[in-house]
């Protein structure tokens, strides 16, 4: 129980940042992913966010997340190809309209992993409560953030079990047998995810999360110089992406 809702956190550069800084980076990336549609503009933020996520020193967790996005991309591509056989007009869609949504997803994943893998649950709760949010909002949010590293850990354990039993020699071996992959990988993963979610909720309740008593932080958190520099760098990158977006729109309007 303690392992699910405890204080374990990763290392790297994001771990040295204040939780509020990482939350602001998530907010900036989310707003940018909604507003931007140009591939070059999103590419700048995607490259920066990938470097930020890699600095958390959890390459395996990042690769697992990218594999999930690649699976969604492949499934979407197959659906588009199948629909294109029925409605030829769909096959003429621009590649940009197909790739941009996944660039937005990867951008959000990178910054959220930087928060989830390197932040203590107590610091997340304190930051969310500092925003004067109701318990109905900040408790599910903190549980969902803590669920991410737990879910990645479940995937690793299931994958190791499959390799020990000889089911999975490589990801391609499972991809070649989708029926077997559904039985030995996805079904156990669903049940582990449901169990982890239940354990997280129980652990949160046992730790007094959501109680009426006011929680006092052990130490007062203050933004350091690196937090201000990181936020300034993030603001400059978003401004650069917006400039690229406007420049691309102006170029299209001239043509």
Q: Is residue 55 domain-resident?
A: yes
* CA neighbor of 105 nearest in space, from 55, 67, 149: 67
Mean pLDDT per 10-residue section of the chain, whose length is 255 residues: 48 84 90 89 92 83 75 75 70 68 87 83 73 69 73 78 71 66 75 75 62 55 86 94 85 58
pTM strictly above 0.85: no
Spell out where 143-231 has E strands: none
Tally the domains of the chain: 1
Q: Is residue 166 domain-resident?
A: yes
Range of the domain at 131: 13-212+228-254
Residues 6+ apart with CB under 8 A from 122: 7
Q: Is residue 6 domain-resident?
A: no
Q: Is residue 46 domain-resident?
A: yes
Q: Is residue 3 domain-resident?
A: no
Q: Over the chain, what is the mean pLDDT?
A: 76
Query: Rounded distance, CA 76 to CA 73, Å?
Result: 5
Q: Is residue 219 domain-resident?
A: no
* Residue 83: Cβ within 10 Å count: 14
pLDDT tens digits for 34-74? 888 888 899 999 999 999 988 887 777 777 777 777 777 77
Supply the pLDDT for residue 20.
87
Q: What are phi and psi of 88, to 5 degrees?
A: -60, -25
């Amino acid at each position: 129980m303690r392992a699910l809702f405890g204080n374990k956190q990763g290392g790297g550069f994001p771990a040295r940042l204040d939780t509020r800084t990482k939350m602001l980076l998530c907010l900036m990336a989310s707003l940018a992913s909604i507003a931007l549609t140009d591939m070059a503009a999103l590419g700048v933020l995607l490259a920066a966010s990938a470097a930020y996520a890699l600095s958390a020193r959890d390459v395996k967790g990042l690769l697992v997340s990218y594999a999930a996005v690649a699976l969604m991309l492949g499934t979407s591509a197959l659906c588009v190809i199948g629909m294109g056989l029925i409605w030829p007009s769909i096959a003429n869609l621009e590649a940009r309209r197909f790739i941009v949504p996944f660039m937005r997803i990867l951008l959000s994943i990178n910054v959220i992993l930087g928060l989830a893998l390197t932040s203590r649950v107590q610091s997340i709760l304190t930051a969310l409560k500092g925003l004067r949010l109701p318990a109905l909002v900040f408790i599910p949010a903190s549980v969902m953030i803590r669920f991410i590293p737990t879910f990645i850990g479940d995937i690793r354990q299931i994958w190791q079990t499959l390799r020990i039993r000889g089911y999975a020699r490589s990801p391609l071996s499972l991809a070649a047998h989708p029926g077997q992959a559904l039985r030995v990988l996805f079904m156990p993963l669903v049940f582990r995810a449901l169990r982890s979610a239940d354990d997280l909720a129980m652990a949160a309740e046992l730790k007094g999360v959501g109680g009426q008593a006011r929680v006092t932080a052990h130490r007062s958190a203050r933004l350091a110089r690196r937090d201000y520099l990181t936020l300034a760098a993030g603001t400059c990158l978003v401004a650069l992406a917006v400039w690229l977006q406007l420049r691309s729109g102006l170029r299209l309007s001239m043509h």
